[in-house]
Structure 1
Amino acid sequence: MNYLSVENLSKSFGERVLFSKISFGLERGQKTALVGINGAGKSTLMKIIMGEEIPDEGQVVINQEAKIAYVHQNPVFTGEKTIYQTVFDDPDNEIIQVIQEYQQVLLQAEHDTEGRLQPVLEKMDRLQAWDFEYQINEVLGKLGLHDTDIPVSALSGGQRKRVALAKAILNFPDLLLLDEPTNHLDLETIEWLEEYLSKSSLSLLMVTHDRYFLDRVTNQLLELEHGNLYRYGGNYAYFLEKKAERKANQATEQEKAKSLYKKELDWIRRQPKARGTKAKYRIDAFEETKEKAFRTDEERDISLEVTATRLGKKIVELEKVHKAYGNVTLVDDFSYVFKKGDKIGIVGPNGVGKTTFLNMLTGGATPDNGTVTIGQTTVFGYYKQEENSFDEEKRLIDCVKEVAEVVTVAGGSTITISQFLNQFGFPPKQQHTPIAKLSGGERRRLQLLMVLVKSPNFLILDEPTNDLDIVTLNTLEEFLENFPGCLVIVSHDRYFMDRLVDHLFVFEGQGQISDFPGNYSDYRETQKQSKTSAPKKGTEKSTKSQEQPANSSQKASYKEKKEFESIETELKQLADQKKALMEKISGGTEDHELLIQWSQEIEAINSKNEALEMRWLELSEREGIN
């Protein structure tokens, strides 16, 4: 079944052509990613599909029988609705409506004089809404939406993204459209979303730069390049292979066209003027050959060759640093001495203190106890997750010139700001345009440029991959691999982390930070192994003091081992109890008070089950528990 057809679609903004007469379709079960450089028109194409932009020509045909959901890159919610009300605000979804009705009836059960419960229970059975209610709890839990009574107006950008994803997923669409779905999500949430989408039967069209996500979820890629659309059946690895082949074929065809052009040019020059009209078809063919032979590949070529200021012996030293806000401890008794060439990744759930740690590192925040000593030659370059505030009317080149007039590149030579902008993917004709005309990805690239232009020797990158295209990411990675100074990265991009970092600071909560010797994939593999066997000695070491042995408090006590065993037994018993109660409800009874009692018992089991599972997961991380 065809869910979506895009036919001869074109869109331009002034002289800038985003795409011209592109066509494609999406069938049931296809999981498709839309890729291309920043400014190629990916987000615009998504907006046209959803009816939020109007194309210059062409049409989008959506199967009226297909249910479609769309998650914006930066979702915005208005009004004072709670998270729960926002997620389940779908009058067309009968299952959601009956679950809401069921919950309302339970709250008013003592005053149920009209016998409303029994019809609702029968409807829950008919629509199989009991399973759906479980799925609701799972999706909300995995997306970190535990307190659903919070107004959406009070949420951060990352939390709004989670709410939008929950709303889209729980509508169980046939076709899901996602614009940068992994932005603002933590690593564990991304891994869950990746697994969910790869196993789901829904069709998918998404814009993302997350290369692991692309490789593990998609079975088709569409590339927007120079206004054209190229289709690749397969995942990201297949796309790279076939794109390289396409580029090689284009280069071969261009060489053939140049050879033919020389022959045709000689013919044109030898023709008498009077005979020009007799071979018009050949002259037209000559012009086409000329265009093909000398067509320039405008694919943006970014080159990063910025030098770093020389580092002294003392870089940054943290000694017994402690930081808390009220009763919440973010960093507790942490010590570390940074060394030249350190490449460190920072991981941990949202809200555990990663940004506070970075601010203390750069002197932007003061620890409650302990000291942070910064070397005299240390020059920080801090790329923050929040986008810089630019003067929208100012020209691109003038904005950068306020920071520096020239840039020192590798080898010690200097280049002008205009040359540096050109190397960074901003050609001369774009350098004199107002910043307001830049796309989201181009603005983030400008933000990165503003950090590097200062020649830092200690780079801190907080979510640097958000909104950057794959071409920019590959170039940035190559630059950072050879960066001679210190590098600290907070990123949800697992590929980016795996390629660059040597070890991790793992924020475990309650101020505890451990130093893991390896990249992110190594860390996740160790986590998985620790759930089935005791971790190898020395896998992690405490960074409270670099000389101290591993934290012995992570070893399971005899009491904890017994508790772990008892939880497994209790979880099985609760599952059996819930199953028996579900069978009773399905069997039906005329005693509505008994039905209420059974429903309340199921609610209590669900709550107890969730608490026990959390404790089981906590204990499973302890050394000595299998």
Structure 2
Amino acid sequence: MANLINLERATLAAGTRLILDEVSLGVGTGERIGVVGSNGGGKTSLLRVLAKERDLDAGRCTHTSSLRLAGVAQDDELAPDATIRDVLHGDQETHVWAGQAHIREISAGLLGDAQASAVGGLDATVGTLSGGERRRVALARALVADANVLFLDEPTNHLDVEGVAWLADYLTGTWMTPERSLIVVTHDRWFLDAVTTMTWEVVDGRVEAYEGGYAAYVLARAERERIGAVTAERRANLLRKELAWLRRGAPARTSKPKFRIEAASALIADEPPPRDSVALARFASARLGKDVVDLHDASLALGGTTLLDRVTWQLAPGERLGIVGVNGSGKSTLLRVLTGQQPLDSGRRKEGVTVKIGFVTQEVRELDALGDARVIDAIESVRTTTTIDGKAVSASQLAKRLGFPGPRQQARVSDLSGGERRRLQILRVLLDEPNVLFLDEPTNDLDIDTLTALEDVLDGWAGTLVVVSHDRYLLERATDNQVALLGDGRVRRLTGGVEEYLTLRHAGIGATRPPAASPAGGGGGGVSGSTAHTGSAAEVREARKMIARVEKALQRIHEKEARLHAEMATAANDHTVLARLTGQLRELAAQESALEEEWFVAAEIAG
């Protein structure tokens, strides 16, 4: 492995803050490096130093003579009057670039949406594109370049789940060769695991190196802190909790985590599952009663596009649901419908009498009126204490958990960064103590430590949770079930999670191929769309009774599964007990599969 970039005793300061303190490191051929750290910790500055776009105060950065760089910054610098064709191909004749397979692959994977929605296709000007389309064009420009080192700063911003998956596959497949290297800054933990083979953490002027992607980084950091007898006990506990979830999760969740199994098992031997789903659902039912938010035969069209087509949906107490979907399919609009902010064209919305909704939107404009207030005042104006995981937590303590240490709580709201404003927005919504919480892209502007802390808070929050996010890791970590909007006005339950959604999209299922009606979500909630009634009135009534029976049976199975997982955590070192419990889980999975088949048959009749 040859070195392409060398950093020697690099020192860089911004005002009185030291970003790099005599850091030495190298980038070799064939490496795929993920860069993590807190917001403002120096990740982007490190990338700019390595690319020689920012001068050092001391030390030096050297490049090999054969180095060819390409990259994508957080804010693209595309000329608004340039066309997509100009940005990607310059003066090249069409037959030159169109004859190259990798360029055709990039165009199909990244530019399908941009070319389809932009008037003029490749001849559309950059200024007419949306933020997401501009991001895709900038990524495509970097990928078509003949570079052997690629710098990507938050490349998954504005990409949906499908786009993130395509980018990960392309970078590790077609683009990557033994002579090339990749350096990526991202808070997308799934993307880190899927793409990177080494992790750099920028912290306190240092760059700590860990072998492997995000999962291996969590293990190594937890182990390093344990050996070093770190006093920050809560942070270490969070690491063990995160590690336990990663180790117990589906193997497909991470790409090649490179765990040392014995070390991981020792660290998480007494770590319970992230949350007690049964207890939380029971408590949520006590707070909410039977009814949460229901949609009955709901239809909605905006801008000539049908977003909901006779959809019936019942959210259940304690349900934790993730929503994915193609761009423009109406995910954010669906949240506004569920919260009552968006009227329906037909059908009706019913809300339980005890429901109290909290809504974290993509915008943070509600903080504009609080610009002159201190952070702690903006928080305590909502409530001074709340309850998380059955324990009373003060507003100041919760603020500290979500990244506002004591001194920062005294800052003015108008002086906060984008990530801090996002954290404050979430804090204020949580402190209002809703029992139904809707989150629309909550990971925007949040670093990995803050995301981990947010997930920890949500683990102990009792209520119904609905999340729209392109962050696959968050969806799988914080929700128990997922549904998809495929652009055809329907809502489809994903029994196989996000992986099933990607499979459906790869198979071309979307607006042109309506899916079957969807079974109930975990916790008894259900979604369905318009389906022709194929049975007689008596058959329809019987089918609906069957659906109700199956949903109750599925709920009982979900509760049994949760109890078995808890028993497995308790008996982590008893292989005999684990084998017995694993067998019981397989039996439950077979029963669940059979029940879902019954549900599909009944749903076809009931409509």
Same fold (TM over 0.5): yes
The aligned counterpart of 2:9 is: 8
Amino acid at match of 1:43: T
Greater Cα shift, 499-508 or 515-524: 515-524
Residue pair 1:497, 1:519 contacting (<8 A) in 2 also: no
The aligned counterpart of 2:32 is: 31
Amino acid at match of 1:35: V
The aligned counterpart of 1:68 is: 69
Q: Give distance in 1, aligned partners of 2:429 and 2:75.
A: 24
The aligned counterpart of 1:229 is: 207
The aligned counterpart of 2:118 is: none
How far the C-alpha of 1:26 sits from its partner, in A, is: 0.6
Greater Cα shift, 75-84 or 156-165: 75-84
For the pair 1:408 / 2:380, whether they are aligned, the reply is no
In structure 2, which of residues 93, 97, 108 is the aligned counterpart of residue 141 of structure 1?
A: 108
Q: CA RMSD in A?
A: 3.6
Amino acid at match of 1:366: P
Deviations 1:109-130 (A, max 9, x none): xxxxxxxxxxxxxxx5xxxx56
The aligned counterpart of 2:405 is: 427
Q: Give distance in 1, aligned partners of 2:404 and 2:526.
A: 44
Distance 1:411 1:526, change over 3 A: closer
The aligned counterpart of 1:456 is: 434
Q: Give distance in 2, aligned partners of 1:331 and 1:190.
A: 25
The aligned counterpart of 1:182 is: 156
Residue pair 2:517, 2:528 contacting (<8 A) in 1 also: no
In structure 1, which of residues 202, 205, 221 is the aligned counterpart of residue 183 of structure 2?
A: 205
The aligned counterpart of 2:132 is: 158
Deviations 1:219-273 (A, max 9, x none): 111111222211123333332232223212322899xxxxxxxxxxxxxxxxxxx
The aligned counterpart of 2:48 is: 47
For the pair 1:474 / 2:452, whether they are aligned, the reply is yes
Q: Give distance in 2, aligned partners of 1:62 and 1:386.
A: 41
Residue pair 1:320, 1:335 contacting (<8 A) in 2 also: yes
Deviations 1:431-489 (A, max 9, x none): 22344654443333223223212112111112222332222222222332343211111
The aligned counterpart of 2:60 is: 59
The aligned counterpart of 1:329 is: 306
Q: Give distance in 1, aligned partners of 2:391 and 2:231.
A: 38
Amino acid at match of 1:196: Y
How far the C-alpha of 1:152 sits from its partner, in A, is: 1.5
- Counterpart secondary structure, 2:76: coil
Deviations 1:136-178 (A, max 9, x none): 2321221133233332222222222111101110113111111
For the pair 1:84 / 2:85, whether they are aligned, the reply is yes
How far the C-alpha of 1:405 sits from its partner, in A, is: 4.9
How far the C-alpha of 1:349 sits from its partner, in A, is: 0.7
Distance 1:444 1:329, change over 3 A: same
Counterparts of 1:432-451 in structure 2 under 5 Å? Answer: 432-435=410-413, 438-451=416-429
How far the C-alpha of 1:426 sits from its partner, in A, is: 1.1
How far the C-alpha of 1:410 sits from its partner, in A, is: 3.2
For the pair 1:492 / 2:492, whether they are aligned, the reply is no
Amino acid at match of 2:36: V
Q: Give distance in 2, aligned partners of 1:506 and 1:8.
A: 49
Residue pair 2:162, 2:502 contacting (<8 A) in 1 also: no
Residue pair 2:4, 2:63 contacting (<8 A) in 1 also: yes
Q: Give distance in 2, aligned partners of 1:345 and 1:164.
A: 29
Q: Give distance in 2, aligned partners of 1:436 and 1:365.
A: 30
Q: Give distance in 1, aligned partners of 2:351 and 2:381.
A: 23
Q: Give distance in 2, aligned partners of 1:130 and 1:153.
A: 24
Deviations 1:48-85 (A, max 9, x none): 33455444333332334221112112324343222222
The TM-score with structure 1 as length reference comes to 0.67
How far the C-alpha of 1:528 sits from its partner, in A, is: 7.6
Q: Give distance in 2, aligned partners of 1:81 and 1:56.
A: 36
Larger Rg belongs to: 1
Residue pair 1:406, 1:414 contacting (<8 A) in 2 also: no
Residue pair 1:397, 1:417 contacting (<8 A) in 2 also: no
Counterparts of 1:488-527 in structure 2 under 5 Å? Answer: 488-521=466-499, 523-524=501-502
Aligned sequence identity (%) = 36
How far the C-alpha of 1:356 sits from its partner, in A, is: 1.2
Structure 1 gap ranges (5+):
90-96, 103-123, 255-303, 532-536, 554-622
Q: Give distance in 1, aligned partners of 2:455 and 2:387.
A: 17
- Counterpart secondary structure, 2:422: helix
Greater Cα shift, 401-410 or 421-430: 401-410
For the pair 1:366 / 2:343, whether they are aligned, the reply is yes
Q: Give distance in 1, aligned partners of 2:516 and 2:297.
A: 22
- Counterpart secondary structure, 1:251: coil
How far the C-alpha of 1:385 sits from its partner, in A, is: 2.5
Amino acid at match of 2:336: N
Counterparts of 1:353-392 in structure 2 under 5 Å? Answer: 353-388=330-365, 390-391=367-368
Q: Give distance in 2, aligned partners of 1:346 and 1:386.
A: 18
Distance 1:493 1:409, change over 3 A: same
Q: Give distance in 2, aligned partners of 1:142 and 1:530.
A: 13
Amino acid at match of 1:355: S
- Counterpart secondary structure, 1:148: helix
In structure 1, which of residues 245, 260, 270 is the aligned counterpart of residue 223 of structure 2?
A: 245
Distance 1:437 1:198, change over 3 A: farther
- Counterpart secondary structure, 1:452: helix
The TM-score with structure 2 as length reference comes to 0.69
How far the C-alpha of 1:190 sits from its partner, in A, is: 1.0
In structure 2, which of residues 153, 166, 174 is the aligned counterpart of residue 192 of structure 1?
A: 166
The aligned counterpart of 1:618 is: none
Q: How many residues align?
A: 466
Q: Give distance in 2, aligned partners of 1:151 and 1:70.
A: 21
Amino acid at match of 1:480: L
Distance 1:197 1:312, change over 3 A: same
Deviations 1:585-604 (A, max 9, x none): xxxxxxxxxxxxxxxxxxxx
Q: Give distance in 2, aligned partners of 1:405 and 1:428.
A: 18
Q: Give distance in 2, aligned partners of 1:548 and 1:465.
A: 28
- Counterpart secondary structure, 1:509: coil
Residue pair 1:83, 1:150 contacting (<8 A) in 2 also: yes
Amino acid at match of 2:143: I
How far the C-alpha of 1:366 sits from its partner, in A, is: 0.7
Residue pair 2:193, 2:213 contacting (<8 A) in 1 also: yes
Deviations 1:333-377 (A, max 9, x none): 001121101111111110111111111111221111111122232
How far the C-alpha of 1:322 sits from its partner, in A, is: 0.6
Amino acid at match of 1:138: E
In structure 1, which of residues 150, 169, 174 is the aligned counterpart of residue 143 of structure 2?
A: 169
Q: Give distance in 1, aligned partners of 2:165 and 2:474.
A: 15
The aligned counterpart of 1:346 is: 323
Q: Give distance in 2, aligned partners of 1:323 and 1:55.
A: 56
Residue pair 2:299, 2:310 contacting (<8 A) in 1 also: yes
- Counterpart secondary structure, 1:98: coil
Q: Give distance in 2, aligned partners of 1:11 and 1:76.
A: 25
